[in-house]
Structure 1
Amino acid sequence: MAECGEISMMLGAFEDSELEPNEMQEVAFHLARCESCTGLLADYSTLGRNLRSFASEPSLAGFSSSVIARVDRLPQPVLTRIERFLRRQLDSVGSGIAWGGAFAAAAIMTIILMTPYARQFANRGTQPTVVASSNSNAPAANQAANAASNEPTMADNDSHADISRLESENHSVAVWSEPRRDTTVIWLPDQP
């Protein structure tokens, strides 16, 4: 059995749970029977609480970053430095490729979506085309209208009209309109 002198030396470590399990058991057994050692343990507890209340904890803000920076400043093997350099370069190239791909996709989508509007804008300034029969058997009124009109004919432009609708109940006459160019064409077949 341990004496109070031996137990009093272990009370601080007992308070902080720093004893071996068999020593912890021995001190706890002694404290259950000895009031003076129990009072001394209470004094140690009060003194520890008071000391902890006066001491301020150091600020740990930035501690981990400063440790990492210090470790990074340590001499590194050449292969490790080359590997880190190549990784940084690949990371920057990879992000550049990703941004370039995003810009290219946006440009392609813009071109695809804006093409019909650009065509419509480009055709906005064109004059309507009047096409009439240039047949020698055509009525004189049509030939006079063609001669008086200085506008180019569809045959002169060699363009292709998009016909939006056909209009005529008479099978010998065809009338169609092309609204984007504001053009109406009347076709009269050759008449013997």
Structure 2
Amino acid sequence: MVSRFIARHPLLFTIYHYLDGKMWVGLLGKERLIMDAMEADRVTKVRKLLMMSKDKRIPLREEGIQDLGLEEGDMRRLNLLNTLPLISPYSNGLRLDLWSLEAEKYRVGVTHEFLSLPLEKRALIHHIVEFKQEFSLTRQIYHMLKKQPKTFYLAGIEMNWAVFSMDAYGENGDLVNKVRQVMFNEKLY
């Protein structure tokens, strides 16, 4: 029974045969090799997070395209937001007036850059809110993201929304550029 289970999961286990007839089961080290190969990429992502934060440090803590139903004035404001030049997410967001269009454009840029860092180019909104002070964000992130259907896709239920970077996913909804760890995880599932 155990040998059948092991044979059905060749990505996880390997069988070692010894001269004395004994067999040993071992875990494949493929995931560790992938993780080690991605170390430089992970370091770069942490550096980006630090560069986007207002004080260049982050404290450690414990634990779709539809009518938005906006009024004409709000639609005009949204169009202004989409036509303003981009504001670098690496600039100091504190110098911007909190409720100005420039500040909102900055927050869109920070969120977009933040979503470029995870392997699957998505995050739960409440994880992004954890960085609100460091990245000069507001608690109204959901409403900001909802106004950007060409940039972000929201999925989930109230209090547990996930946000996806639209440019990271193809028309079929699959991640466009999958790193080796994501491909390994898909095979594992």
Q: Tell which has more relative contact order, 1 or 2 (C-alpha 8 A, sep 6+).
A: 2
TM-score of the pair, normalised by structure 1? 0.18
Higher percent of residues as strand: 2
Q: Say which one has the larger Rg.
A: 1
TM-score of the pair, normalised by structure 2? 0.18
Higher percent of residues as helix: 1
